[in-house]
Amino acid sequence: MEQRANFGSKLGIILASAGSAVGLGNVWRFPTEVGANGGAVFILIYIICVLVLGIPLMVAEFVVGRHTHRNTADAYRQLAPRSGWILQGYLGVFTAWFILCYYGVVAGWTLKYLVDALLGRVAAITDSAAYFTTFSSHPWMPIAYMVAVMLMCHFVIVRGVQNGIERYSKLMMPLLLLIIALLVVFSFSMPGSREGMRFLLRPDFSKVSPDVFLSAMGQAFFSLSIAMGCLCTYASYFTDDARLVKTAGSVALIDTTVAIMSGFIIFPAVFSVQGGTPDAGPGLVFITLPTVFQMAFDTVPWLGWFFSVLFYLLLLLAALTSMMSIHEPSTAFLLEHFSLRRHTATCIVTLSAIAVGVLCSLSFGPLADVRPLFGMTFFDFFDFISAKLFLPVGGIIISLFVGWKLPRELVHDEITNHGHLRFRFFALYRFVLRWVAPLAIGLVFLNELGLFK
Ligand code: PHE
């Protein structure tokens, strides 16, 4: 049998997994949530959620993937043959593919803005809201950009694990971290940025409500790429000496740092614009920020150009490394389950995602009024069903699976690399997976469905 692919180094493992975690969720969704949930308190609660729930669940997925060294669907089949748990494997594969379909649309927008920034067009936008709407509702332009981004992702995935995912993660992630650092400096240098800093750093405890907790938890899961088959698939390429807990900790640290730094980039900049509001929603990065860059253009033109290019490059890099990780679960499944060539499997996934992506993209234009699925547009439907429905359900199943179904020794062996490492919190870890995580995620789920509204 052909030897199965794996990552070549520990650094590659961490950077690829961090590439999955750091995505639009950090740069776009996190600041939006912080804005809507009262600033620093949200950040505090978010960090607690990452520590108490995020890291244990990441490790749980790593255990399943690394122990079996198989694609997600077959991993569950191997661990629990002929049982209902197998469905979780398929759920992971599907969830990842669903997310790929609509994530590619937004990634396409970031490419469009990067091109515009490079050409100096961001400076010339007079009404940034109208500009964004005109573009996103255009019948074919956003589709062209979506296809371009999907193809970029395709060309990485088709090269395989070491030559594709690992090599490009090692290239893109350090670049991304460097850009983030530069942008923080830029944002601090904007006039009036102190108000934004204050908003981020001073906790306002009057804002604490159950809703804030639930939003923080939902954001943590999305941001850490939990329950989407990605971590499990990547972990199936981990070498036997990889340290699961340490890897999860490093990835969580990088992911949270990037999210908070994105807040530091966006809020000082937003507050420096007259009338800038922190909770402007997704429009934050495509509508509010272009205005900020224009201000910089007006004072020092090349600086405005430089930083707008850096910002949209950052978004694109973040989106691409995440897309790679949502492409791989279904590719690995097709490749192994049906013994296809990597090239064929990758083509099937890319083409099918583009086909559905076209529908999602058109949701902002010609198909805006077409709501065939539960009164939602295609884009909203795919977002809803994956991020709001499958994600929490998958999270609950994974914690129950690793907490209750898998033999204690198996989990312990994976976490300690067969006794080579010490892990003092194992009992606590199992308790979290058995009780805390399923209950907490259950609450998030009911909240997403609007039961507490
Ligand atoms: N974690 C990524 C982000 O923050 C999104 C993502 C979701 C990546 C699902 C992989 C799987 O944007």
pLDDT for 316-350, tens place per residue?
999 999 999 999 999 999 999 999 999 999 999 99
Q: Please tell me the distance from the alpha carbon of residue 104 to that of residue 358, in angstroms, as a whole number.
A: 10
Cβ(395) – ligand 1 distance below 6 Å = no
Ligand 1, atom 11, residue with closest C-alpha = 225
Tell whether the model's pLDDT for residue 120 goes beyond 60.
Answer: yes
Q: Which of 13-22, 177-186, 220-229, 269-278 has the highest mean pLDDT?
A: 13-22
Q: Please tell me the distance from the alpha carbon of residue 112 to that of residue 428, in angstroms, as a whole number.
A: 47
Cβ(332) – ligand 1 distance below 6 Å = no
Q: How far is the CA of 409 from the centre of ligand 1 (A)?
A: 31
- φ/ψ of residue 373, rounded to 5: -110, 105
Angle at 274 between CA 269 and CA 279, to 5 degrees: 60
pLDDT tens, 399-410? 999 999 999 999
C-beta separation of 412 from 360 below 8 A: no
Cβ(322) – ligand 1 distance below 6 Å = yes
pTM exceeding the 0.85 threshold for the entire prediction = yes
Q: What percent of the chain has pLDDT over 70?
A: 97
Which pLDDT score, from 0 to 100, does residue 282 have? 64
Q: Which of 29, 30, 176, 223 to mutate to test the pocket of ligand 1 (most atoms within 8 A of CB)?
A: 223
C-beta separation of 27 from 318 below 8 A: yes
Cβ(230) – ligand 1 distance below 6 Å = yes
Which pLDDT score, from 0 to 100, does residue 122 have? 86
C-beta separation of 281 from 89 below 8 A: no
End-to-end CA distance of the chain: 54
Cβ(150) – ligand 1 distance below 6 Å = no
Cα-Cα-Cα-Cα dihedral sign, residues 303, 306, 310, 316: positive
Ligand 1, atom 6, residue with closest C-alpha = 225
To the nearest whole number, what is the mean pLDDT of the chain? 91
Q: Which of 26, 258, 317, 325 to mutate to test the pocket of ligand 1 (most atoms within 8 A of CB)?
A: 325
